[in-house]
Structure 1
Amino acid sequence: GLFVTDYFTRTPRKLSPFRSFASIELFHFHIPEDTVIAVWNLITFKEQGGTFGDQCPDRSITVYFRSGAPSVINPLHTHFPRDTAVPGSFALTLTWTLPNRTTGVFNVTSPLPGDWFLAAHLPKDEGKISVKGLYEECQYLFQPQLIVQRLVNIAVLYPGHVTEQSMAPHNRSCLYKVFVPSYTSRVLVEVLRCRGAEGCPLWLRVRAKAPPLHNSTTLDCREHAPCQLAQDLPFWQHWYYVLVEKHPGVPGTVSFQVTVQLTDCSRPSLARPPFLPSSASMNMPHSFGSAGGLALGDSPPPTSPNDTKHPVPIPVTSHAGERCWPVRPTLRNELDTFSVHFYIFFGPNVSVPPDRPAVFVINLLPVLDSGGVLNLELRLNVSSLCGENVTVFGCLNHEVPLTSGDNTSVTCETETLAGFLLSVNATASLSRLRIPYPQTGSWYLSLRSLCATEHGFEPCTNVTAEVYLRAYLSPCINDCGIYGQCKLLRTNNYLYAACECKAGAGAVQGSSHTLSLLHQFYHACDQPGIVVFCIMEYDVLQFCDFLGSLMSVWVTVIAMARLQPIVKQASVLYLLGAMLLSMALQMDRHGLWNLLGPSLFALGIMAVAWTARTIRRRHCYPPTWKRWAFYLCPGALIAVAAVLLYAFVETEENYFYIHSIWHLLIAGSVGFLLPPRAKPSRRLGPLPRRKGCGYQLCVNEQEELGLVDPAVASINSICTS
């Protein structure tokens, strides 16, 4: 056949260490139909300070692949709530081959068409809590590229028609496809009149949605006559691909015929009983009547997800043959983004008769609904059991209803299908199921009741169980609990929701000391554990704590400057500092210059004040060595030690201890650095006038000499009497 190659790329994005699903980078691709191979080229490179990050450490990058919906990522091995079904995905780890660049390749043969999602992140960091802006940050950029190769003009098989085919010696295989509509119970592919070689040296492979693989359903026509391959309960509204492959080493041309038969349970000749079920058999109230009078012999038109005119029949395989049961549609009610309720007509209480299943369909819109959580809840009305030991089983399957099983068991799996099983009885009357990031399309829920006996389960007699059914989409599981918050994230035009802890390691990064009263309340709300106490919004507490921290530095240094004799209104500086610090915190709360800038500015004011006082007095200020030796130098050393602990030693593991030591050191340094309290001037009375002298000695002001309790007065001027 003829191949066409398509190329897709995405903009490079900066990767982050994994802390929650909100820290990953999500990429959305769309693979067209008839694709035989998809190749992802995964490019990663380092940057530091706008240049190549050759000095950056090598950090492994994990990439997740999933078809239909984003991957549910849990590298930290946290626990999901009960009754949560975590869908699987494929993960790939990239290692570095060059100092600043690496490339990985991921091939998928015959990928499923539709939406594919890639998620990438760095490993969880080692717990180092660094100050933002202290050094050039290493950035790891990730760019995925997709190359697909697809076949064009694949031969289409029409049900009931025979297709002639001759396979030349240089050809190994022939590929066909057939479209399977809704209400199809079986697909039968048959190879006829195989000629040109001994026996029939052909393999027959069938697969849904994409061309067959080596592990697809296979039949060796040499060992089976007739060469027929059947697929029960096929996927509805999808292409099925048929591959006829020649055995290796077969010379000459092989001729054969291919035909496909579809079993349609909406036809009266293929469905029993050939009459419309009563309202009771359709699990609806008797007031609903005959549902519009549609006979099973009529071919129902395709219905939209919200079309409620006629119930549509579905197939069920059993020992008694093929039967058709009605499917009850659900009404979609959108309340908000990822907040959708699916209502059942004449519900939410549904009746489950003993002799047939009750089937419902839930339609999830493509792309739009895959970023939330599909929730399903079954609650059994125990009073409706009439004392019988009845168990109601529910099977939730994607894209095809599955109610197969015998009269003694219920299974939600076949060779090609896998579903989710729920059950309720008199003992456990409530069952829940949560599916994060569900695949879009039609989800079918089949309810069936069986009675428990000594020998297992048996069909019930004259007991119709009543079940409360609730199905809805929510952004997150249980709204992320008490100590989490549900975030709505966006990647280009794709929306998805994820949980993020309100308190934890992410919240402590960039925290600093404080002398404010809200400090204890902030750290009580900042704990990563279960015991968290928040008197108000976390963001408000964090702002107040950071503002108090910076104001404590500002006020301490301005007080050390002793500006009162120079600037009579020194309180203006306190007010100006509060305004500037508030503005800086609103711009970047965790930046290095938010702490360093005001501190340096205050130190500059103090240096100018001390220099002016030194020049005016003609000696160093503070003037005494005791003030330097016992107060200023120890206080400065303690403060520097605290800053070094905060900037280079603090990690997530030792945060509680190092941060407590940081607070103690800063509080201790303030006790050394704050100037002593100024005492009121004590003017000396006039000295006794000496005879023969026209001058008297007086004192105009008393100046602090740098001691905690100054008691020495200096003679500042001599005035005439």
Structure 2
Amino acid sequence: MCPFHRHFSPTLPSNFQKVLTCTGPAWVCHLLLPSPPWDRWLQVTAKSLAGPHVSVAFSAVVTLTACRPWIVNFKQLLQSSPNQSCNASTGLLSPSPGYQDLGRNIRVGGGPFCLVNYQVMREDMDVVSVHFRPMDRVSVLVHSGMPSVMRLYLNTGMDSGGSLTISLWANKSMISNNTLVMVCVNAASPFLLFNTSLNCTTAFFQGYSLSLSTSSRKAKLIIPYPETDNWYLSLQLVCPQSPEECEKAKVLIETTLYLVPCLDDCGPYGQCILLRRHGYLYAGCSCKAGWRGWSCTDNSTAQSTAQQRMATLLLTLSNLMFLAPITLSVYRCLLVEASIYAYTMFFSTFYHACDQPGEAVLCILNYDTLQYCDFLGSGVSIWVTILCMARLKAALKYVLLLLGTLVFAMSLQLDRRGAWNMMGPCLFAFVIMVTMWVYRCGHRRHCYPTSWQRWVFYLLPGISMAALAITIYTSMMTSDNYYYTHSIWHMLLAGSAAFLLPPRDKHVEPWACSQKFTCHYQICKNHREELYTVT
């Protein structure tokens, strides 16, 4: 016979493997797997070390030593609450013991009890938000005879994207000076060997350990992105100095077990967001103002309060530049354009006032509503400015304006931060403008616009500012320089609109009829539109 390797691993998921090398004259090797995974097949792979063309014969003997769990059964509670959904731990049902009998080592069917299994209710609160609690109460009785185990069902495939939070609390009067409550949190199988080891290690998993004592009566454990599996909370009372003191001691431990998307909802300096990749849902904190960490609690690079207020002032007051295109639009009788610029200025100001973290925050509406209106106003402002430059007939102009607004609303609903959601319709409007200008150049046999002053003092500065604004928005804006670059974007966008708006026609009155209104009907001719209206 030749030496060979044996690999032992759970089927799925595979945390790590146990490798056993069989060598020596006897060719006998043993592997002990304490607390193997529950309700799962174990895969055994044998690999010869003698070469690719050498056959190796071997035999394997598997011996499983198990005991029966004592399940704290609350069947009557379930019958009294038939409409409440729950997931209860499965196992061999036995007569439900009272709390006064949990310390006894009773044999049922020839096998001793090795653990007290508390049935746990799972309550789905929201997306990646679950509450676990014992069926009858929040407290769990812990003693020295055997571990008290709670199974947390996190095997739905949608629970690995949050953070598992375990909080334990013990009454000070119930813990003596020489007693210690040891806690282990493991996946796949519970840790049961508190009498021989306290390292919380099972066959394929290194667990998390906690402890409660007279000096530390509270313990908290946070596991970000827990593995998709059944998790087990094991508790047992131990007395390292005087074991005889634990024989009759019992401690009630209050438990708070939650699966939350983000810790503390990311605090005042972060926002909890959900991400979906390849069918998996993850939650995470998007930190602001230089804060970092799982829950945005790391202030090593955080901004001061003065810096936060300065950033808020930059992002909000920069929108006052829209007063220039609003004033020009009203003066030139472009009332629709003026209303759109006013809409953009209003929602951009209050969106950025609500978007800031920490103390400098002011939200007059829901954050998502303010963000949507800000993005919509910015896109429609660019759209209406280019259409106004094209000098279209009023009917066609307002039809395109309405259609463009509807397209912006649809695209922002699909992907709010997509660059082409804004650039696509604006390029289409730019093509319309160029087409109309080329048509007028061919029709008049002269360049349009005809005045070189219009090109030098208005169009070229406006186009330069618009090009610079697009460059900053698409390629130069980062999270570090956002306060400055986005404020510059506001000013360039408003300034370019003021430069690019077409001038007022000096030879024709801005209204539809130049005559004074009389008491009878008359036909008024609008020279600009070449239409007749009855007034």
Q: TM-score, normalised by structure 2?
A: 0.59
Q: 2:12 is matched with which residue: 107, 114, 117?
A: 114
Q: Give the alignment of 1:122-161 within 5 angstroms.
A: none
Q: Give the alignment of 1:286-301 within 5 angstroms.
A: none
Confirm or deny that 1:595 pairs with 2:426.
yes
More helix by share: 2
Q: 1:413 is matched with which residue: 201, 225, 238?
A: 201
Q: How many percent identity over aligned positions?
A: 31
Q: What is the CA deviation profile of residues 427-459 of structure 1, one whole-angstrom value per residue up to 9, with x for unaligned ones?
A: 54332333344445554332123569xx89995
Q: Give the deviation of 1:359 after TM superposition.
A: 1.5
Report what 2:137 is aligned to. 347
Q: Give the deviation of 1:467 after TM superposition.
A: 0.8
Change (3 A) 1:410 1:636: closer
Change (3 A) 1:675 1:311: same
| Matches of 2:29 and 2:473, distance apart in 1 | 73
| Matches of 1:254 and 1:680, distance apart in 2 | 103
Secondary structure, counterpart of 1:433 in structure 2: strand
| Matches of 1:531 and 1:307, distance apart in 2 | 58
Q: Give the deviation of 1:305 after TM superposition.
A: 1.6
RMSD: 5.5
Change (3 A) 1:578 1:548: farther
| Matches of 1:650 and 1:442, distance apart in 2 | 44
Report what 1:484 is aligned to. 271
Q: Any conservation in 2 of the 1:479–1:486 contact (CA below 8 Å)?
A: no
Q: What is the CA deviation profile of residues 36-84 of structure 1, one whole-angstrom value per residue up to 9, with x for unaligned ones?
A: 99xxxxxxxxxxxxxxxxxxxxxxxxxxxxxxxxxxxxxxxxxxxxxxx
Consecutive unaligned residues in structure 2, runs of 5 or more? 78-87, 106-110, 291-318, 323-340, 510-526, 528-535
Confirm or deny that 1:664 pairs with 2:486.
no
Q: Larger radius of gyration, structure 1 or 2?
A: 1
Change (3 A) 1:554 1:371: closer
Change (3 A) 1:232 1:528: same
Q: Give the deviation of 1:648 after TM superposition.
A: 5.0
Change (3 A) 1:341 1:522: closer
Q: Give the deviation of 1:577 after TM superposition.
A: 0.6
Report what 2:235 is aligned to. 447
Confirm or deny that 1:382 pairs with 2:280.
no
Q: Which amino acid aligns with 2:487?
A: S
Q: 1:548 is matched with which residue: 355, 377, 390?
A: 377
Q: Give the deviation of 1:379 after TM superposition.
A: 1.8
Q: Give the deviation of 1:421 after TM superposition.
A: 0.5
Change (3 A) 1:426 1:593: same
Confirm or deny that 1:362 pairs with 2:151.
yes
| Matches of 1:554 and 1:244, distance apart in 2 | 68
| Matches of 2:171 and 2:73, distance apart in 1 | 17
Q: Give the deviation of 1:468 after TM superposition.
A: 0.5
More strand by share: 1
Report what 2:469 is aligned to. 642
Change (3 A) 1:323 1:650: same
Secondary structure, counterpart of 1:468 in structure 2: strand
Q: Any conservation in 2 of the 1:398–1:441 contact (CA below 8 Å)?
A: yes
Q: Give the deviation of 1:309 after TM superposition.
A: 4.2
Secondary structure, counterpart of 1:540 in structure 2: helix
Confirm or deny that 1:305 pairs with 2:203.
no
| Matches of 1:560 and 1:333, distance apart in 2 | 61
Q: How many residues end up aligned between the 2 structures?
A: 423
Q: TM-score, normalised by structure 1?
A: 0.46
Q: Which amino acid aligns with 1:577?
A: L
| Matches of 1:256 and 1:629, distance apart in 2 | 91
Change (3 A) 1:534 1:485: farther
| Matches of 1:244 and 1:571, distance apart in 2 | 80
Q: Any conservation in 1 of the 2:8–2:44 contact (CA below 8 Å)?
A: no
Confirm or deny that 1:580 pairs with 2:404.
yes
| Matches of 2:73 and 2:480, distance apart in 1 | 59
Change (3 A) 1:323 1:111: closer
Q: Give the deviation of 1:674 after TM superposition.
A: 3.5
Consecutive unaligned residues in structure 1, runs of 5 or more? 1-35, 38-108, 118-208, 267-275, 289-302, 317-321, 506-511, 683-702, 704-721
Q: Which amino acid aligns with 1:600?
A: V
Q: Which amino acid aligns with 2:499?
A: F
Q: Which amino acid aligns with 2:381?
A: S
Report what 1:517 is aligned to. 346
| Matches of 2:46 and 2:287, distance apart in 1 | 57
Q: Any conservation in 1 of the 2:10–2:43 contact (CA below 8 Å)?
A: no
Q: What is the CA deviation profile of residues 566-603 of structure 1, one whole-angstrom value per residue up to 9, with x for unaligned ones?
A: x5xx4873475144223234135532212222243345
| Matches of 2:431 and 2:45, distance apart in 1 | 75
Secondary structure, counterpart of 1:637 in structure 2: helix
| Matches of 1:468 and 1:435, distance apart in 2 | 19
Confirm or deny that 1:630 pairs with 2:461.
no
Q: Which amino acid aligns with 2:466?
A: A
Secondary structure, counterpart of 1:305 in structure 2: coil
Change (3 A) 1:311 1:220: farther
Change (3 A) 1:504 1:552: farther
Confirm or deny that 1:467 pairs with 2:230.
no
Q: Give the deviation of 1:398 after TM superposition.
A: 3.3
Q: Give the deviation of 1:549 after TM superposition.
A: 2.2
Secondary structure, counterpart of 2:350 in structure 1: helix
Q: Which amino acid aligns with 1:229?
A: H
Change (3 A) 1:681 1:418: closer
| Matches of 1:519 and 1:418, distance apart in 2 | 51
Q: Any conservation in 2 of the 1:451–1:457 contact (CA below 8 Å)?
A: yes
Confirm or deny that 1:392 pairs with 2:221.
no
| Matches of 1:356 and 1:389, distance apart in 2 | 16
Q: Any conservation in 2 of the 1:284–1:350 contact (CA below 8 Å)?
A: no
